[in-house]
Structure 1
Amino acid sequence: MTVRRSLLAAGPLLATLPAGSRAQLASGVPQPGNLQGTWTVTVEGDIRYRTWSVHGTEGPRLLSDYGWAGAHPREVEARVTGAPGQRSLFIVTPSNAMIEAREVAPGRFEGLFVRSNGSRSRIGLVQESPDGAVPLSSPAPQAGRLIVYLGAPDCPSCRLFETPAYRGSYETAPEARKVPLRAVLAPSYRRPDAASWPADLSWVPEQIGARHVPLFLAISERRIAYACAGLTRWDENMRPLARRWAGLA
Structure 2
Amino acid sequence: MMKAKERLDKILANSGFGTRRDVKRLVRYGEVLINGERIRDPEFHIDVDNDKVVINGEPLEIEKHSYFMMNKAGGAVCSTKSDRHQTVYEFLDEKDNQKRLGGSLSTVGRLDADTEGLLIFTTDGELNHRLTFPKYEVKKTYLVHLRDSVSDAEKATYIERAKSGLRIPAAANDPECDAKPCDIEFIEDAKCTITVTEGRFHEVKRIFIALGNEVVYLKRLMMGTLHLDESLGRGEYRTLTDEELFSLKELVK
- Per the normalisation by structure 1, the TM-score is 0.21
Whose radius of gyration is greater, 1 or 2?
2
- Higher relative contact order structure (alpha carbons within 8 Å, sequence separation ≥ 6): 2
Greater percentage in strand:
1
- Per the normalisation by structure 2, the TM-score is 0.20
